[in-house]
């Protein structure tokens, strides 16, 4: 970019307008992430431990859990469709308004879940309506996190992009933490109160978060990189065609990178809880105690996320990402064996380390890495497709396939351990297929995987923080 262009779009942290926009973008992304993961963590916890009794009470207990986790997993099927639809709009119309629509759709579906009648009240229509709302929730979420990822990467200063891009993802941990705390506190209620009406409260209360997120996002300005596309009339007319031709390699690698992070996250947050608190162990752990593992893991992740984002600015995205994938690979077998022992304190520690260290050591560098993989014309759609296809293949299957394997094997811990290790192997291999993206100019139109490995990377990283390469 020319000096004139760089001056028109300052990215210095001491520039008042830029600093205000960066704060606003961070807040908008963080609140949206918090709402999305409050919704998803809440639904995941309830599907693992509660919804089987409320919406699938006509099934035997073990398969009620499988059916309940299947309703959780079906939302992932809608996520690629939502990512495709809203990602296309994001690349054609801009990032801001898509983020406004997705937060309304996702949050509205969550709120309505709290108003659903149960199986005992309306029979088969109860799980059908639950599934429909879960599909709507997934459709909106399909572009929500991708939009937040792209938004922060495009606003962040180039040399600290890893750190700043990771900050909104603390909202993920806040949402997960809030869901786990709410569930733990509600578990103290008598069963007749909890299963009678109290379970509805957190779903209905998410409406407050929707209003807050909507207020913040309506005040948000469009990202500088999309403004540049419009200014030079380079906005893609057919981003779908581009992403499935020029962007296909980037999407494929992005899916591989996400398998362990996304699949591992949902295995620790849902499947592990169903394993230790359900009917798979001789002495099940109390569901309220087990969820403290998710709570502690979220607290650890709040430190790990910005730290690993910062480390990826110093040492590169690939090496930090690979460290997290290898840790999960090594951790999988001892973790599931320890869970099978049924000791409450051990359960909390195992789940906390899995979420806080294994998963989030990958998520930290991923926040900047995925947007850096794609060119400016189809970045939103590319990130959405990489995130949401992997969400189906990893996170969506983690609960239902894992629960099925446990059900048919009479609770054999080895099967989910092998499953988790396989996901970690895929991600570890993927880190060797992607070029280093640290410091890449986000105004470039070609994808990182379509140029020579690391070619141009050092040049982009050497640009001053205030350049248009943010």
In tens, the pLDDT along 43-82 reads 777 877 788 778 888 787 777 877 887 887 787 788 888 8
Question: pLDDT tens digits, residue range 264-313?
Answer: 998 998 889 888 887 788 788 887 788 889 889 989 999 999 999 999 99
Q: From the CA atom positions of the chain, what is the Rg in Å?
A: 21
Asked if 439 and 158 touch (Cβ cutoff 8 Å), the reply is yes
* Domains along the sequence of the chain with CATH: 9-461 (1.20.1250.20)
Record the tokens describing residue 236, joined without a space: 């893609």
Question: Quick one: average pLDDT of 330-341?
Answer: 95
Taking the CB of residue 299, how many other CB atoms lie within 10 A of it?
17
* CA 293, 299, 304, 309 torsion-angle sign: positive
- Among residues of the chain, what percentage have pLDDT more than 90? 27
What pLDDT does 93 receive?
75
The predicted model gives 407-418 an average pLDDT of 89
Distances (CA, A) of 262 to 40, 97, 343: 13, 26, 26
On the CB side of 10, how many CA atoms lie within 13 Å of its CA?
A: 10
Phi-psi region of 233 (alpha: psi -120 to 50; beta: other; left: phi over 0): left
Q: What is the DSSP string of 366-419?
A: HHHHHHHHS-TTSHHHHHHHHHHHHIIIIIIHHHHHHHHHHHHTTS-THHHHHH
Nearby residues of 25 by Cβ (< 8 Å), 6 or more positions away: 151, 152, 155, 220, 223
Higher pLDDT, 222 or 117: 117
Report pLDDT for 364. Answer: 94
CB 56 within 8 A of CB 223: no
Phi first, then psi, for residue 217 (nearest 5°) are -70, -30
279, 180, 329, 385: CA torsion to nearest 10: 110
Q: Between residues 37 and 328, which one has the greater pLDDT?
A: 328
pLDDT of 336 reads 95
Higher pLDDT, 452 or 321: 321
Question: pLDDT band at residue 447, thresholds of 50, 70 and 90?
Answer: confident
* Average pLDDT over every residue of 99-118: 85
pLDDT at 229 over 80: no
Look up residue 57 and give its DSSP letter. Answer: T
């Amino acid at each position: 970019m020319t000096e004139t262009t760089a001056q028109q779009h300052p990215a210095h942290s001491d520039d008042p307008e830029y600093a205000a926009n960066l704060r606003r973008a961070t807040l908008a992304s963080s609140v949206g992430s918090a709402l999305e993961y409050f919704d998803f963590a809440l639904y995941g916890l309830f599907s693992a431990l509660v919804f089987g009794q409320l919406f699938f009470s006509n099934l035997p207990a073990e398969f009620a859990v499988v059916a309940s986790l299947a309703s959780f997993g079906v939302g992932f099927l809608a996520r690629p469709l939502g990512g495709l639809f809203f990602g296309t709009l994001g690349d054609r119309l801009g990032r801001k308004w898509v983020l406004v629509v997705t937060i309304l759709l996702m949050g509205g579906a969550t709120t309505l879940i709290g108003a659903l009648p149960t199986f005992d009240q309306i029979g088969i229509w109860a799980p059908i309506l639950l599934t429909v709302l879960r599909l709507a929730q997934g459709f909106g979420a399909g572009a929500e996190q991708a939009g937040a990822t792209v938004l922060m990467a495009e606003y962040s200063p180039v040399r600290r992009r890893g750190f700043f891009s990771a900050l909104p993802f603390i909202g993920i941990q806040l949402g997960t933490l809030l869901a786990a705390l709410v569930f733990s506190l509600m578990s103290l209620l008598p069963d007749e109160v909890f299963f009678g009406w109290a379970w509805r409260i957190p779903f209905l209360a998410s409406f407050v978060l929707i209003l807050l997120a909507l207020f913040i996002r309506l005040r948000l300005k469009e990202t500088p990189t999309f403004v540049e596309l419009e200014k030079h009339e380079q906005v893609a007319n057919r981003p779908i065609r581009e992403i499935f031709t020029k962007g296909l390699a980037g999407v494929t690698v992005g899916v591989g990178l996400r398998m362990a992070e996304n699949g591992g996250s949902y295995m620790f947050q849902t499947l592990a809880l169903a394993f230790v608190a359900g009917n798979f162990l001789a002495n099940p752990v109390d569901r309220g105690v087990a969820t403290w593992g998710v709570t502690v893991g979220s607290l650890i992740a709040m430190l790990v996320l910005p730290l690993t984002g910062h480390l990826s600015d110093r040492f590169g995205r690939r090496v930090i990402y690979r460290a997290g994938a290898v840790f999960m690979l090594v951790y999988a077998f001892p973790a599931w064996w320890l869970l099978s022992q049924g000791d409450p304190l051990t359960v909390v520690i195992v789940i906390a380390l899995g979420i806080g260290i294994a998963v989030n050591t990958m998520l930290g560098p991923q926040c900047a890495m995925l947007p850096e993989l794609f060119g400016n014309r189809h970045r939103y759609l590319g990130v959405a497709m990489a995130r949401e296809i992997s969400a189906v293949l990893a996170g969506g299957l983690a609960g239902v396939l894992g629960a099925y394997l446990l059900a048919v094997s009479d609770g054999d811990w080895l099967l989910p351990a092998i499953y988790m290790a396989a996901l970690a192997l895929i991600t570890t291999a993927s880190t060797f297929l992607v070029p280093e993206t640290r410091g890449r100019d986000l105004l470039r139109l070609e994808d990182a995987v379509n140029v020579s490995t690391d070619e141009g990377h050092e040049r982009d990283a050497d640009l001053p923080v205030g350049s248009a390469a943010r």
